[in-house]
Structure 1
Amino acid sequence: MRARFDTLFGRLFGVLLVAIVLAHLLAFLWFKHYGPLVPLTFQFVSLIIAAWYGAKLLTRPIQRLSDAAERLSENLDSPPLDESGPREARQAAHTFNLMQKRILEQIQQRSRMLGAVSHDLRTPLSRLKLRLEQIDNEKLQGQMRQDLDDMIGMLDSTLTYLHEQRTSEAPQWMDVQALVESLSENAQDQGADVQARGHCAPLQVQPMALRSCINNLLDNALRYAGDALITLEDSREQLVIRVIDHGPGIAADKREAVFEPFFRLEGSRNRNSGGVGLGMTIAREAAERLGGQLSLEETPGGGLTAVIRLPRV
């Protein structure tokens, strides 16, 4: 008998059953002494209270599970869900915690494998670069050295991308305007034509994620256009950061595709201008970790404008 009332159905049924019996019993006593009006009102109020409590009892485990899922989406290391309550709630919490544990184990295993692969690949690649010096054909030597540099670059970019996916930061207040001006000055020191305009109030963000997002967009603009303009547009609802260039731009039907890992436009598939196709992917995922959005637009007069929209909460 006790096991039956350990379920969510049993508890809800019990609450409603007790409410109905109690309402009718008390209504009978009131009717006997004071007439028919009061008991009907009492029954109505009792059933409303029972319905409210039953609905609360029914939605509480679902709300706990929803809150835990939201915490998990923001931080994989969030505390496990408390496995208490009715049997269905305990089963759901146990399954959720098991899922979280398996996700963490898979990510840790992947990180260990990538670390081992990175170490094991770098050693023979370094040996190959040394052995290239023994080749007399300078043209062939240059081509092979470029191939090895491309392989090392792809390896580094892939590991950076996977590290960005795993990294979680605590949000903190940051002077975004100072960050943008610093990135602009650093690029100018390296000979790049980068300007920053606009003002904004501090914003609560994950600093590494925001820096990574803007850096990748800036690198993309400098790679294909040679210059960039970063603008800030602040409001009560959101902060809009634009990275503007006047390069070749991207066709409208390709602007979503460039956010896919390892996707590169045909025009960029050369060693001088093309990356490995992860910069835009890293930028969008960083923007989404900040609770924002990243989209691409055409620059008036030609070029590409990357737009980051970060909410103020």
Structure 2
Amino acid sequence: MRRADSVFARLFGVFLLAILLAHALAFIWFNQYGHPRPPPPPPNMEHREHMRPPPPSFGGPLIPLAFQLLTLIVAAWFAARLLCRPIQQLSDAAERLSNDLDSPPLPETGPRETRQAAYAFNLMQQRIRQQMQQRGRMLAAVSHDLRTPLARLKLRIEQISDPHLCTRMGQDLDEMIRMLDATLSYLHEQRNSEALQWLDLQALVESMAEDAQDRGADVTVSGNCLPFHAQPMAVRSCVSNLLENALRYAGHAEIELHDNRQHVEIWLRDHGQGIAPEQREAVFEAFFRIEGSRNRSSGGVGLGLTIAREAARRQGGDITLETTPGSGLTAILRLPR
């Protein structure tokens, strides 16, 4: 009984029924029309109608073969649908889970193997959700527990009589706080799930450029882009980190929008010092900073590009770095439509 409730048993039954039906049709056909003609009747019985009915004018051996072929095609189509339906449902559920951890569970229906796969998938989703919630609580605790002693240290540093030492220790403490904030932001971006929504990317980029211009930054925007499905907060995080990176190290930024049927691209160009080709992949690693940028005037802890690329890849896109003609760096954010 357990083996009967399986995908194998159902496929075997469908194909067995198809083969039996095809052979039954062929047997009936040949039994009716396939016997050889009887010998000519004697002269005294030539007018009697004891002869077999002649085969139909449209008949022949192609008819049973066509019946067999048609039956097998129909049976194979139903069998393929029966086999692919649970696999397609599992694939769709996995895609929904990659975009949203709170997506509805997979229905545990169908044959035994399908129910087992759905149960295992739902259990995996539940455990992932629990682990992410546990990590979120841990991050909140770490944030609270670290900020309290850092705040006390900052108050005690102000009581140091040596101004030069007080300034240097305050700078080191501020850098520690920035690293803590950046690390918590990075971990929050990793655990944050966001549903796809219609996004007016052109309006978003122009708004961010206007905000930067209000702060005195040199930012220009060109090109056009139609709305498309994306994760708004993740896209904002990508553009914000790339824009801040360009303004921090070059002092200006040129944003270009490129739109086509497959992808939407944001080219963020500057004319600064740029990055050597052998370091363009390394800068996407967490906490990696080029030696020339390890100073307090430029700031940064080496997580901006890491956050931006991971946010882009969660949506099926990516970020690449190229050399700006002349000098500088061009960051290309590519998102699928």
TM-score range, shorter chain: over 0.9
SS at match of 1:6: coil
Which residue in 1 is equivalent to 2:115? Answer: 90
Name the CA distance, whole Å, in 2 between partners of 1:222 and 1:68: 41
2:40 aligns with none
- 1:189, CA displacement in angstroms? 1.8
The structural deviation recorded for 1:236 is 3.8
Q: For residues 236-280 of structure 1, give each alpha carbon's deviation from its aligned partner in whole angstroms, at most 9, with x where no partner exists.
A: 443321111111111111111111111111222222224111100
Task: Report if the CA contact (8 A) 1:216-1:283 is conserved.
Answer: yes
Matches for 1:53-72 after TM superposition, within 5 Å: 53-72=78-97
297-306 or 285-294: bigger deviation = 285-294
Aligned pairs for 1:186-265 within 5 A: 186-265=211-290
Take 1:43 and 1:56, find their aligned partners in 2: how far apart are those partners?
20
Extract unaligned runs of 5+ from structure 2: 35-59
For residues 175 and 46 of structure 1, what CA distance do their matches in structure 2 show?
A: 52
Match of 1:273 among 284, 290, 298: 298
Give the Cα–Cα distance (whole angstroms) in 1 for the partners of residues 196 and 122 of structure 2: 24
Q: Which structure has the greater CA radius of gyration? A: 2
AA at the equivalent of 1:47:
L
CA shift in 2, pair 1:41/1:182, >3 Å? closer
Give matches, 1:1-313, under 5 Å: 2-35=1-34, 37=61, 38-312=63-337
Moved more, 106-115 or 278-287: 278-287
Q: Secondary structure at the match of 2:158?
A: helix
The alpha-carbon deviation at position 112 of structure 1 amounts to 0.3
Aligned length: 311
Q: Alpha-carbon deviation of 1:115?
A: 0.3
Question: 1:294 is paired with a residue of what secondary structure?
Answer: strand
Counterpart-to-counterpart distance in 2, 1:198 and 1:9: 56
Unaligned runs of 5+ in 1: none
**How far 1:98 moved relative to its partner?**
1.2
Contact 2:283 2:290 in 1 (8 A): yes
Does structure 1 conserve the Cα–Cα contact (< 8 Å) formed by 2:264 and 2:334? yes
Q: CA RMSD in A?
A: 1.8
Percent identity reads 67
The match for 2:56 is none
Paired residue secondary structure (1:5): coil
TM-score when scaled to structure 2?
0.87
Higher helix share: 1
Deviates more, 1:61-70 or 1:215-224: 61-70
